[in-house]
Structure 1
Amino acid sequence: MRFLWIHAFQLILLSILGSVFTNTNVQAQVKPFTTIYPVAKAWSKNSINAIIFRKNSLVTYKKHQYIAFYDEEGQVVLGKRRLGSENWSLITTSYSGNVKDAHNVISIMVDGTGYLHVSWDHHNNPLNYCRSTKPESLKLGPKMEMTGSQESRVAYPEFYKLANGNLLFTYRNGESGKGNLIVNLYDCKQQKWTTLHDNLINGEGQRNAYIQTTVDKEGVIHLSWVWRSSADVSTNHNMCYARSRDGGHTWEKSNGERYTLPITAGNAEVAARIPPNSELINQTSMTTDDIGNPVIATYWKESAQDVPQYHLIYLQNDSWNVKILPFRKTNFTLSGVGTKRIPVSRPQILASRYGGRSVFYMIFRDEERKGKVSLLKVTNDQNNHWEIIDLFNEDMGAWEPTLDTELWKKKKIVNLYLQKVEQADLEGQTDFPPQMVNVLEWKP
């Protein structure tokens, strides 16, 4: 099967004076080259394969890229290809998940010695984890414990690779509105997990933290989160921040003040004050600029009269700033429990540098743009120029962007997990048939 080259034909350029966005529209023609690598058909009756808190759906190690997804029977499928090739080696494992619950995602990472780590099927249930039997292999060993401590009520498993090849594994212990953040550390030389923090962010039985994390080029771990006070998404509020300069052992605020652990609502640094009932979404993404300043992408509405808009929360000159991206026109509300059918995706944020300036790329989907895979580019200069292009012109349903973080770090190439999926409220299922999984590649 040959590559499919996709062109986007319209770009909207809006200029900003200072930190205030104007309504000036400038149109131009662009043709961003993207390459599509087809993989296989997979479960699409809900968004479990294409939801943003999969860390990761794709991961590159040396010259090969790995992928994971649930097939139409709910089995965990793993794949591997040489970078640049359209030929995938796929295996259907003996492991399966409750695909009726869109929370129960698969997350993967490859450690510094080449072992593939897989965690899957969690929404407040016992840990499911295993790793490959040898380096750069798709064959998985038996299911195993990590540390054996606080592994009975796991949700939102996420892997992060450190500069030395070791791994962090974070998850929520507890439930929505009543949970704590666990952080484990994997030593790839000893092939052993240890508990780094059995309660890094303490919900105190009254709330839980929904996190987004990134590890910058200097090895600093940046962590941000919104608090939720109950299972109802409308209680999401505030954006908080912490960082670690020593591999996750100790944590500090953006001004260098050391946290007394665990972090609680009482001592957390607030990067942006956002009240409940602001349509604030949880579990989005963050990155850092070229000098290590954190940048968080999310959405909420400023007042009851406004519509939800994407925002960037960023640290600059030791001060937190909020940049509104006011291009949306239609309203929606977030309330209730379970996975929601939302007209926009949660955003993915990346940072690069061009012409001596920081450039941010926010990847998203919006029904206003007919469900396409869209990318907003923000140039962080005096004029704060921004523009939107479409990387893929088809309606992607309830898809949210996940990407190969390791490939981006090393080569500044975007590889997105691409699959059209549908989603009904309250963990409902649709009759949507299996859809093709693709990898979309875009080079800025």
Structure 2
Amino acid sequence: MKLINALMTFHILVAISLWLLSSTFESHASEQIVHSEAIDNVWSAHRIKPFLLTRGEHQFVAYFDANRQMTVAHRMLGKPWRFYKVDSYLGWDSHNYVTMELDKTGHLHVLGNMHSDPIEYFRTTEPFQVRSLQRVNKMVDKIVEKRMTYPVLILNKENELIVKYRDGGSGNGNEIYNIYDTKSKRWSKLHQNQFLDGEGKMSGYFEGPIKGPEGNFHLIWVWRNTPNSATNHSLSYAKSKDLVNWTDSNDQPISLPITLDKTEIVAPVPPFGGMINGNVKIGFDQGGNPVVTYHKYDEDGNTQIYVARKQNKIWKSHQISQWQDFRWDFGGHGSLGKFLVKPYAVQIVDDKKLSVKVRKKDDILRFVLDSETLQTLSVEKVNLYPPRISEISQVSNRLLENSTDLPLEQHVLKGVGDSSPSGGSYYLSWVSQPGNRDRAHVFISSPSVLLLHESKE
């Protein structure tokens, strides 16, 4: 009887909490205002990323609900949400995120829940109407689309929709690019030849393509020999004007497929050298030149942060951290859980300075660099996101945190697309148990509250 009463009390408190969170929270800090609202209860038993997209007055969020079902919601800014659930259900794999993008005619394309899995793809039959989403069982080749991983949707310079994904497995996969024709409503291969070929020995893990300030698309990646994450090596670079024809940083053409011997190497980090996929980032300096951030082991075996930029037609790396007795000795298969260190892309501070934010354990450090020499001028503790977001998220998920003794992680994800009408940014926040090498936990935590936040600088 006591257990029943406790459960009833818990559910009542959850309902009250959700009602309270549907109201507006305002930060009284002079430098920013944050508006927050609850979207839904979501799966929290392991780490999995939702997706937030804003295009003009249209805003979309895609996530896995409390029952593991993929859900897509849409609203006109400031209006109520419309929700729709598709027939795709999450397992225990933290790689199975969801992503989406609008094509030129306003149709939403949703991909996700794939880690060497058959295609999971949904497209609207009516512009901007999530409740018209329908499953599409093939893009180009159903035989090829049986082992899809890491889908990314990109708009090229003509706002044509392009999807890229990995075909195959870790250490032995190929990169596929397709382009969508809005008139025929069909996909076709973007490249006649295979994009990248690990020649049966390795595969590429990519960051980008990212559109630079000059309009070109920039791509960096690491090569990986086996499913063991410690075998990442050879940080590489290529660029393109149209995502079809590719060159190195000196504008010399690269014929497809790209192989290791044809690759422009940014940093020749060897396997087991302390570099990992997902932690290589690309930003741009005041002149629009790409600057690559990564980490590796130094001569003493410590993990250190580096930035690399072309100098006299040669990539030159600069160590910006000076950490002692700190080594992230990662390895193995599956999702690794929370990374002990995570660098972010270079940002411009002013005419003479750049900065790099780095999360080291639970601290957010900001390295301020001389933009000419890339030498570290100062290191300071900062916030990665508006602090009010963490405060609100903690309040909304206090019941979840009190319901289990298991470790829980707080997540904040910046949205993709346009800024808010006031020029601010949109964020999502939620709480989950950590990943477990893509295996089931013994305990399934109660749902987390997925929150939407709007900040104003």
Q: Same fold (TM over 0.5)?
A: yes
Query: 1:196 and 2:217 equivalent?
Result: no
CA drift at 1:346: 4.0
Change over 3 Å in CA distance of 1:429–1:227 after alignment to 2: same
Kindly indicate whether the alpha-carbon contact (under 8 Å) linking 2:341 and 2:361 is maintained by their aligned counterparts in 1: no
Structure 1 residue 125 corresponds to structure 2 residue 117: yes
> Per-residue displacement from partner, 1:389-434 (whole Å, max 9, x unpaired)?
2233468955666433322699974433322222243213443322
**2:362 — aligned with what?**
368
2:23 corresponds in structure 1 to 2
1:101 equivalenced with 2:93 (yes/no) = yes
Structure 1 residue aligned with 2:46: 46
* AA matched with 1:211: F
What does the per-residue CA deviation read over 1:60-116, in whole Å, with 9 as the maximum and x for residues that have no partner?
111122111101211111122344x3x551413132233311111111111222211
Distance 1:41 1:327, change over 3 A: farther
Task: State whether residues 293 and 346 of structure 2, in contact with CA within 8 Å, keep that contact through their aligned partners in structure 1.
Answer: no
Of the candidates 409, 413, 430, which is equivalent to residue 419 of structure 1? 430
Deviations 1:255-282 (A, max 9, x none): 1111121111111000112122233221
- For residue 129 of structure 1, report the CA deviation from its aligned partner: 1.0
Return 5+ residue gaps in structure 2 as ranges: 1-21, 395-406
The answer to whether residue 77 in structure 2 is matched with residue 66 in structure 1 is no
The CA deviation string for residues 284-336 of structure 1, in whole angstroms up to 9 with x for no partner, is 44343454322333433324531x34443344664434344427674332111
Query: For 1:411 and 1:303, how far apart are their aligned partners in 2?
Result: 48
| Native 8 Å contact 2:117 2:149 kept in 1 | yes
- Please say if residues 169 and 185 of structure 1, whose CA atoms lie closer than 8 Å, have aligned partners that are also in contact: yes
Return the offset for 1:355: 4.3
SS in 1 for 2:72: strand
- C-alpha deviation, 1:59, in angstroms: 1.5
Q: Quick one: distance in 2 between partners of 1:381 and 1:76?
A: 44
Distance 1:267 1:315 in 2: 18
Show the 5 A alignment for 1:30-429.
Answer: 33-49=33-49, 57-83=51-77, 85=78, 88-139=80-131, 140-148=133-141, 150-197=144-191, 199-213=194-208, 214-245=210-241, 247-284=242-279, 285-289=281-285, 291-303=287-299, 305-306=301-302, 308-315=303-310, 318-326=313-321, 330-344=326-340, 346-349=342-345, 351=347, 353=348, 355-356=350-351, 359-360=354-355, 362=357, 365-369=359-363, 374=364, 376=366, 378=368, 381=371, 384-385=377-378, 387-390=380-383, 391=385, 392=387, 393=390, 397-398=408-409, 402-407=413-418, 413-429=424-440
Which structure has the greater CA radius of gyration?
2
> 1:233/1:136 Cα in 2 relative to 1: closer, same or farther (>3 Å)?
same
Partner residue in 2 for 1:54: none
Distance 2:420 2:163 in 1: 19
The alpha-carbon distance between structure 1 residues 109 and 230, as it changes in their structure 2 partners (threshold 3 A), is: same
Deviation at 1:384, TM superposition (A): 4.7
Give the secondary-structure state (helix, strand or coil) at the position aligned to 1:266.
helix
Distance 1:219 1:95, change over 3 A: farther
Distance 1:400 1:227 in 2: 28
Q: CA deviation at 1:44?
A: 1.5
**Residue 337 of structure 1 aligns to a residue in which SS?**
coil
- Structure number with higher relative contact order (C-alpha < 8 Å, ≥ 6 residues apart): 1
**AA at the equivalent of 1:427:** D
Aligned match of 1:438:
451
Letter in 2 for 1:47: R
Q: Which ranges in structure 1 are unaligned for 5 or more consecutive residues?
A: 9-29, 51-56
CA RMSD of the aligned region, Å? 3.2
Contact 1:162 1:219 in 2 (8 A): no
- Counting matched residue pairs gives 407
Structure 1 pair 137–344 and aligned structure 2 pair: CA distance change class (3 A): farther
**CA 1:375–1:409 in structure 2 vs 1: closer, same or farther (change >3 Å)?**
farther
How far apart are the structure 2 equivalents of 1:74 and 1:282? Answer: 27
**Aligned residue type for 1:4:** F
Name whichever structure is richer in helix by fraction. Answer: 2
Do the aligned partners of 2:151 and 2:165 also contact (CA within 8 Å) in 1?
yes
C-alpha distance in 1 between matches for 2:200 and 2:107: 37
Give me the whole-angstrom Cα distance separating, in 1, the residues matched to 2:411 and 2:224.
21
3-state secondary structure, aligned to 2:129: coil
% identical aligned pairs: 25
TM-score (normalised: structure 1):
0.81
Contact 2:304 2:319 survives alignment (8 Å): yes
**Paired residues of 1:183 and 1:195 also in contact (CA < 8 A):** yes
